Structure 1
Amino acid sequence: MSAVEFRPRKIRTVAVVSAVFLVVVFTIVGLLLGDTPTGVIFRTSDQVAMIILGVLLACGVLLLTRPRVRADESGVEVRNVVTAHRFEWSEVLHVSFPDGASWARLELPDDEYVSIMAVQAVDREHAVAAVRALRELHKAATR
């Protein structure tokens, strides 16, 4: 089996739509800040800050699109929201997807594990295909 790569599907769609929504809402709020009947005076810098806040929040939401898992005959690379790890197959005991878990994980020695956020339960058949492919690569490499 050759190299495989998987990314989450549904969360990517939700994150992109949410990010666009945040930018639009914060831009509208920022532009409307100048005309308030409350007596508070908002300056242009306040309006710009509101728009920038929307962009920053959108960037934070877009971090949810970052997870990815790549695997080949030699090992597996797991990139989650903030961290990335590379493991040789000899370091991995199992590829599992525990009941009730949100995502798959690599079982490591000494009761350690690394979550694979790219393989999410909400993606159903895509997640099943990903776990099967990872298990096949693991099995082939550890024979």
Structure 2
Amino acid sequence: MTSGPQASRPLTSRPRRVRWVAAAFAVVFVALFTVVAVLLGGDTSTGVYFRLSDQLAMVGIGVLLACGALWLTRPRVSADADGVTVRNLLGSTRFDWASVVGISFPDGASWARLELPDDEYVPVMAVQAVDGDRAVAAIREMRKLHRAAHAQQSA
């Protein structure tokens, strides 16, 4: 890492608003399916009998749906003087700053992206438009780290 007043500290960013919404949905899924499981416990006049295993399965479905909602909170980006690590929904990849052409946030896009050589790009789902100023700050810090790394390479 470079020294002096322009030295940037490592950045770690996660989406904020998505975490709140996903957590709320997770709670609703578990609560709703638990209530349904309890209500289905008695004998009904329809001739359908729900046993304890059926009730537990309903709660299990609620838990699985909650896990699916919480999966949306997985994205994270970590950047330091050496490179950037992007963790999206399905995987995590580390990029050296030398292999990153730029960092952009196209108009109308939901999240930022790393621009790579040959017109390729990697979405950075951790920096989302709905997070407003937090997203702007994360992009600025990543760009600062990117510039510092390229300046150090050319020096």
- TM value normalised by structure 1: 0.97
SS of the residue 1:142 aligns to:
helix
- Matched position secondary structure for 2:127: strand
Aligned partner (choices 15, 28, 36) of residue 35 of structure 2: 28
**Residue 25 of structure 2 corresponds to which residue in structure 1?**
18
Which residue in 2 is equivalent to 1:63? 71
Give the aligned length. 143
Question: Per-residue deviation at 1:88?
Answer: 0.2
Letter in 2 for 1:74: D
1:39 equivalenced with 2:65 (yes/no): no
Distance 1:14 1:3 in 2: 27
Report the 3-state secondary structure (helix = DSSP H, G, I; strand = E; otherwise coil) of the residue aligned with 1:65.
Answer: coil
Equivalent position SS for 1:115: strand
- Residue type of the partner of 1:12? R
CA RMSD of aligned residues (A): 0.8
For 1:37 and 1:58, the matched residues in 2 are separated by 31
Greater C-alpha radius of gyration:
2
Aligned to 2:101: 93
Superposed counterparts of 1:110-129, under 5 Å: 110-129=118-137
Q: 2:142 aligns with which of 111, 130, 134?
A: 134
Unaligned runs of 5+ in 2: 1-7
TM-score for both structures, normalised by structure 2 = 0.90
- The percentage of counterpart residues that share the same residue type is 61
Counterpart Cα distance in 2 of 1:82 and 1:37: 46
Distance 1:137 1:44 in 2: 56
Alignment-derived partner of residue 7 in structure 1: 14
